[in-house]
Amino acid sequence: MVPKALRKITDTLWELPRSHKPGMLVSARFYGSRALLQGMDEAVFEQAANVATLPGIVGHSLCMPDGHSGYGFPIGGVAAFDATDGVISPGGIGFDINCGMRLVATSLAWEEVQPRLTELVDRLFAAVPAGVGGKGFVKLRPSELRTLSEQGMRWCLKRGYALPEDLERTEERGCVAGADASRVSERAVERGINQIGTLGSGNHYLEIQVAREENILDKPLAEALGIRIPNQVLIMYHCGSRGFGHQIAADYLALFLKVMQSKYGIPVRDRELACAPLASPEGQDYFKAMNCAINMSFVNRQVILHRIREVFSDVFARDPLELGLHQIYDVTHNTAKIERHRVEGVRRELLVHRKGATRAFAPGMEGLPAVYRDTGQPVIIGGSMETGSYLLTGVDGGAQSFFTTAHGSGRIMGRRQAKKQFNGRELAESMRQRGIYLRTASFSGLAEEAGGAYKDIDEVAAATEAAGLSHRVARLLPVGNIKG
Amino acid sequence: MPYQYLDDLTAADVAFRAEGDSLEEVFSAAWEATLGVMIELPEDEEPSESGPLTAGAGPGTLRTRVQRRIALSAPQADLLLHALLEEQVYLKDAEGLLLRLESCRVEERGDCWQASAVAAGERIDPVRHHLGTDVKAVTWHRFELLQQHGRWRATVILDV
């Protein structure tokens, strides 16, 4: 239900003014069509308004078109804080730090892959563990997990799990600066040590997808990003920092709850909105530990890419690079990063929280790899397992949202409701008949992920373009899927 | 059933309400509810279509192969419940274990609440167990533990 105080700025931008709730320092702005906003639950608006009360917030508290209620911040929430006197909030990042998406091209057409699809999916299901208790093949000592969390994908390069181009085509080159593993608890290490190279569960997945000609929306850009042949096959996957990151988030949420009010005088409106000044010892420790989780997640997705290359190479009996298995890009959608943005004409250093929201840098922006300087940053927005996903690029209009866009389609149905409405085995069979072969670690989990539980991805992607946040390049349809 | 899952509190994650006449009962119910997210409970199991590779077992047949003693303390009873469920999630990841609570004692000692529990179960077996959804964390969102008319009630939202 949309609050009465919500006013329209444009067809795709809406605002709750500061007067909506006591303590709001800035307004809360919501991107999306009227229909998308009417589909958002009431808590989205209240959570975005609560975010607007946090000290040091700059600009507006923002919510992307796929927004739905979360903890503290809404999912799809974006908020930037002054890097000197603003706060950092684990609720603005999420428990799954650096949950993100990776898209990999191949030089294979669907006609070549179709006869081997079942084998590919079965082999990937064996090679990339998914679901509760999934264990990866990488054996680590605790000190090695700490090391890789500081080195990110550079660690993968040394171990032979990455190519230099993989780092080039990953946000932050697969390693954010400022990671300090001494700020990470033993519990976080113990939870994550067996999980490198695993997908996790819930809405995490690995898909084989096809870019059909009729779904290429911007042919020159698609070619520039690596989609160059008719019915090209790509691989997309979605996963995060696993137990390592989840524990880091939990550790610092608990710490911030203890000090937020007593030490820093910040009122606790919502325990999940716990925060501390970024410049405080607690804020700095969390920032350093969070960066470790970001890096570990990049490593996780890189090790998975290594396994994907192995499987494709085995199945087609060719070198993976001969098969064109080049990464297009890797984006994170749960982070807080120090970035420079122009606010009211002045360039400022900000801590930008993106929770269920994707960075979308425009052409020419610093931080883009040379190969994407002219195109803008590739953006990957994942849809449901039945409907497909989008490849987009960042655009100049993104300046209004700290160059941020949506991350997915957002849920409209609860998990238990979905389990009652859909049967996992019947769903898998129905998808198979529609040409999507899948393997899952949990049929009940599969029912929870039915397409009917999610918003319309076409509507979300279109809304981001209409709002000037990102530009649609191609729609990618699933043909193979592994789920936890 | 001492707990029920709720759909109206969250779309993306799992919420439940657990109840009991004592703190031990409500703590045990909350533990069971959390377990039930990660592994299929017998009353929810779908008939298995085929043989050993897909057959599974709910917690009713979760074998007792390992035991863990848990001792926790917190300044308040609700914080203690949160810590207990976090321990359950930790054991699932750090040791790969799915466990039921065999016993649980909760008592207030001075200005501190203490829980001592024994949990027993086995390592996660993706072939034999009908696994559900992985729990990432016990959130603080709408988390509460209240006593009304002599009955304890906990509301918990799990990040999955």
Q: Is the pLDDT of residue B46 over 50?
A: no
Chain A residues close to B132, C-beta within 8 Å: 132, 442, 444-445
Integer CA distances (angstroms), A365 to A283, A341, A352, A404, in order: 28, 11, 16, 13
The tokens for A156 are 């993968």
A308-343 as b/e, with b when 16 or more CB fall inside 10 Å?
bbebbbebbeeebeebbbbbbbbbbbbbbbebebee
Which residue matches tokens 């054996």? A139
Question: Which DSSP category does A99 fall into?
Answer: -
Handedness of CA A299, A142, A135, B95 (dihedral sign): negative
Q: Mutation test of the interface with chain B: which of A46, A132, A426, choosing the one with the most B Cβ atoms within 10 A?
A: A132
Give the pLDDT confidence score for residue B45 in this predicted structure: 41
Q: Give a yes or no: residue B92 inside a domain.
A: yes
List CB contacts of A254: < 8 A, sequence separation 6 or more: none
A140 inside 8 A of chain B by CB: no
Q: What percent of chain B has pLDDT over 70?
A: 88
Chain A residues close to B137, C-beta within 8 Å: 95, 246, 249-250
CATH code (residue B136): 3.55.10.10
Give the pLDDT confidence score for residue A414 in this predicted structure: 87
> Catalytic amino acids of A?
407
In this complex, the residue of A71, A247, A257 whose CB is nearest that of residue B139 is: A71
Q: Give a yes or no: residue B27 inside a domain.
A: yes
Q: Give a yes or no: residue A351 inside a domain.
A: yes
Give the pLDDT confidence score for residue B41 in this predicted structure: 64
Chain B residues close to A128, C-beta within 8 Å: none
B44 inside 8 A of chain A by CB: yes
Q: In a 10 Å sphere around its CB, with 0-12 CB exposed, 13-18 middle and 19+ buried, how is residue A116 labelled?
A: middle
- Strand-pairing partners, residue B148, are B151
Q: Which residue of A has its CA nearest to B124?
A: A133
Q: Give a yes or no: residue B133 inside a domain.
A: yes
A243 vs B61: which has the higher pLDDT: A243
Task: Supply angle C-alpha A293, A295, A300, rounded to 5.
Answer: 90
Do residue A202 and residue B160 have CB atoms under 8 angstroms apart? yes
Residue B150 DSSP SS3: coil
Pair A227, A234: CB distance under 8 Å: yes
Handedness of CA A222, A223, A226, A230 (dihedral sign): positive
Do residue A96 and residue B136 have CB atoms under 8 angstroms apart? yes
CA distance A130 to chain B (A): 10
Q: Is the pLDDT of residue B47 over 60?
A: no
Total number of residues shown for chain B: 160
- Cα A333 to chain centroid, rounded: 3
| Alpha carbon distance A192, A390 (integer Å) | 30
Total number of residues shown for chain A: 484
| Alpha carbon distance A349, A337 (integer Å) | 10
Q: What are phi and psi of A69, to 5 degrees?
A: -70, 140
How many Cβ pairs within 8 Å bridge chains A and B?
133
A16 inside 8 A of chain B by CB: no
A424 inside 8 A of chain B by CB: yes
Q: Is the pLDDT of residue B52 over 80?
A: no
Q: Is the pLDDT of residue B50 over 50?
A: no
Domain count, chain A: 1
Confidence bin at B43 (pLDDT 50/70/90) = low
End-to-end Cα, chain A, rounded Å: 33
Radius of gyration for chain A, computed over Cα atoms and rounded to the nearest angstrom: 21
Question: Looking at this protein, which amino acid is placed at residue A213?
Answer: E
Q: Provide the residue-wise pLDDT of chain A in tens; the chain has 484 residues.
A: 899 999 999 999 999 999 999 999 999 999 999 999 999 999 999 999 999 999 999 999 999 999 999 989 999 999 999 999 999 999 999 999 999 999 999 999 999 999 999 999 999 999 999 999 999 999 999 999 999 999 999 999 999 999 999 999 999 999 999 999 999 999 999 999 999 999 999 999 999 999 999 999 999 999 999 999 999 999 999 999 999 999 999 999 999 999 999 999 998 888 889 999 999 999 999 999 999 999 999 999 999 999 999 999 999 999 999 999 999 999 999 999 999 999 999 999 999 999 999 999 999 999 999 999 999 999 999 999 999 999 999 999 999 999 999 999 888 888 988 999 999 999 999 999 999 999 999 998 999 999 999 989 999 999 999 999 999 999 999 999 999 8
Do residue B131 and residue A134 have CB atoms under 8 angstroms apart? no
CA distance A345 to chain B (A): 37
Q: Give a yes or no: residue B53 inside a domain.
A: no
Q: Give a yes or no: residue A282 inside a domain.
A: no
Question: Looking at this protein, which amino acid is placed at residue B120?
Answer: A
- Cα A310 to chain centroid, rounded: 25
The tokens for A144 are 């090695």
Task: Supply angle C-alpha A334, A102, A459, rounded to 5.
Answer: 75
Domain count, chain B: 1
Q: Give a yes or no: residue B55 inside a domain.
A: no
Integer CA distances (angstroms), A432 to A124, A384, A396, B34, in order: 17, 15, 41, 32
Chain A residues close to B14, C-beta within 8 Å: 415-416
Pair A61, A77: CB distance under 8 Å: yes
Do residue A246 and residue B137 have CB atoms under 8 angstroms apart? yes
Interface of A with B in 110-129 (CB under 8 A): none
Give the pLDDT confidence score for residue B44 in this predicted structure: 47
Give the pLDDT confidence score for residue B77 in this predicted structure: 98
Do residue A415 and residue B40 have CB atoms under 8 angstroms apart? no
B147 inside 8 A of chain A by CB: no
Interface of B with A in 1-40 (CB under 8 A): 5-8, 10-14, 38-40
The tokens for A89 are 């909030």
Q: What are phi and psi of A312, to 5 degrees?
A: -60, -40
Give the pLDDT confidence score for residue A350 in this predicted structure: 98
Angle between helices A281-316 and A242-259 (to 10 degrees): 170
In this complex, the residue of A132, A193, A200 whose CB is nearest that of residue B124 is: A132
| Alpha carbon distance B47, B44 (integer Å) | 10
Q: Give a yes or no: residue A347 inside a domain.
A: yes
Q: In a 10 Å sphere around its CB, with 0-12 CB exposed, 13-18 middle and 19+ buried, how is residue B66 labelled?
A: middle
Average pLDDT across chain B, whole number = 89
Confidence bin at B61 (pLDDT 50/70/90) = confident
Q: How many CB atoms lie within 10 A of CB A426?
A: 12
Give the pLDDT confidence score for residue B42 in this predicted structure: 64
Interface of B with A in 52-71 (CB under 8 A): none
Which residue matches tokens 């077996």? B125
Of A83-87, B40-44, B90-94, B144-148, where does mean pLDDT reach its minimum? B40-44
Give the pLDDT confidence score for residue A410 in this predicted structure: 83
Confidence bin at B54 (pLDDT 50/70/90) = very low
Q: Which residue of A has its CA nearest to B131?
A: A442
B136 inside 8 A of chain A by CB: yes
| Alpha carbon distance A141, A404 (integer Å) | 37
Which residue matches tokens 């803008």? A376
Which residue matches tokens 């909350």? B30
CA distance A441 to chain B (A): 7
Relative to beta strand A470-483, strand B14-20 is: unpaired
Pair A327, A170: CB distance under 8 Å: yes
- Strand-pairing partners, residue B69, are B118
Residues of the domain holding B140:
3-42+62-159
A257 inside 8 A of chain B by CB: yes
CA distance A421 to chain B (A): 13
Chain B residues close to A93, C-beta within 8 Å: none
Q: Which residue of A has its CA nearest to B38?
A: A132
Q: Give a yes or no: residue A317 inside a domain.
A: no
CA distance B143 to chain A (A): 9
In this complex, the residue of B92, B133, B137 whose CB is nearest that of residue A95 is: B137
Interface predicted TM-score (ipTM):
0.95
| Alpha carbon distance A362, A403 (integer Å) | 7
Do residue A190 and residue B92 have CB atoms under 8 angstroms apart? no
Q: How many CB atoms lie within 10 A of CB A114?
A: 17
Question: Which DSSP category does B42 fall into?
Answer: G
Handedness of CA A225, A316, A111, A210 (dihedral sign): negative
